[in-house]
Chain A
């Protein structure tokens, strides 16, 4: 059994993957935070089975994608009635290119989003196939189509 401290260390190192997966599968900020929490829970549950055969980031991607794609409960809008006016939102310091990229990916089918996330992470076709459970050849063909779709969303005029 691996220790909680080691798990937390690994998690903090690769926290970016949680941010990325939640942003391609959830539209609203609250849903993204919920999804990140759900992925963290699932990672902890799966951690005893991590043997180190693959990179931790690849293993984490597998659990994160399984969690995001395996959700079946419908998200409900949470209504609340504050008694005072909320503060104006803090200025968004995020790179506009990043927001554009996430928005474009969210327009694609759910399986294409997973393919593109792994591609953008620079995984090889063999690794992408292993994460998704398909052959490298099939991953290549599907990725080609997903990339074409993404390019046409990012550059609609070309």
Chain B
């Protein structure tokens, strides 16, 4: 196939497009499947956090723990809910009609900011949760119990690493495309 016939084949699609689309795709919906899925996930996650927020004080003996840890954990959970809402807004944000290079660059910037907040917030909340759970353990700071601190730090480091890899893989394709457009030939 030569490129002139490829052009002809390509441009033929304009006239046949309606026939290639199933009827439900001809109806315009002001949402899209990824956003619908994200909305369901957001409702589920938000509900879980709110339930945890409502029961952790009584369920985990909050009255016997230092008030500082309790407030920090409640704040961390509230910030996680707010962050989940921000994630939905990021997915729903208009991508715009600016040139592709600028749009991808802006998209990478938005995802990078969100991922940084996400990693920091999840790691901090995890550490606060551990702090809260261990806050009324007697004699915690004895040598014989230092393995607990070691295990917590190792677990936190692993979750940090997994989150970092997750976001890096999400951004890789975008960065590769931007790099390919950026290189002057």
Per a CB cutoff under 8 Å, which of A69, A95, A147 touches B177? A69
Flag if A72 contacts B101 (CB, 8 Å).
Answer: no
Report if B58 contacts A (CB, 8 A). Answer: no
Flag if B32 contacts A97 (CB, 8 Å).
Answer: no
Flag if B97 contacts A70 (CB, 8 Å).
Answer: no
B interface SS class: helix
Instruction: Determine the chain B residues whose CB is within 8 A of the CB of A44 once the complex forms.
Output: 28, 30
Q: Find the A residue at minimum CB distance from B101.
A: A133
Flag if A19 contacts B13 (CB, 8 Å).
Answer: yes
Flag if A132 contacts B99 (CB, 8 Å).
Answer: yes
What CA separation (Å) do A70 and B31 show in the bound complex?
17
Flag if B9 contacts A41 (CB, 8 Å).
Answer: no
> How extensive is the interface on chain A, given as a class?
35 or more
Flag if A46 contacts B28 (CB, 8 Å).
Answer: no
Smallest CB–CB gap between A147 and chain B, Å? 6
Flag if B17 contacts A73 (CB, 8 Å).
Answer: no
Per a CB cutoff under 8 Å, which of A8, A50, A62, A63 touches B28? A8
Smallest CB–CB gap between B101 and chain A, Å? 3
Flag if B17 contacts A101 (CB, 8 Å).
Answer: no
Q: List 11 A-B contacts (CB under 8 A).
A: A42-B94, A49-B97, A50-B97, A63-B97, A70-B107, A72-B170, A72-B171, A101-B6, A101-B10, A132-B101, A133-B99
Which residues of B pack against A, CB within 8 Å? 1-3, 5-7, 9-18, 20-22, 25-26, 28-35, 91, 94-104, 107, 111, 169-171, 173-174, 176-177, 180-181, 184-185
Which residues of A pack against B, CB within 8 Å? 8, 11-12, 14-20, 33-34, 36-38, 40-42, 44-46, 49-50, 59, 62-63, 65-67, 69-74, 94-95, 97-98, 100-101, 109-112, 114, 119-122, 130-134, 138, 141-142, 145, 147, 150-151, 154-155
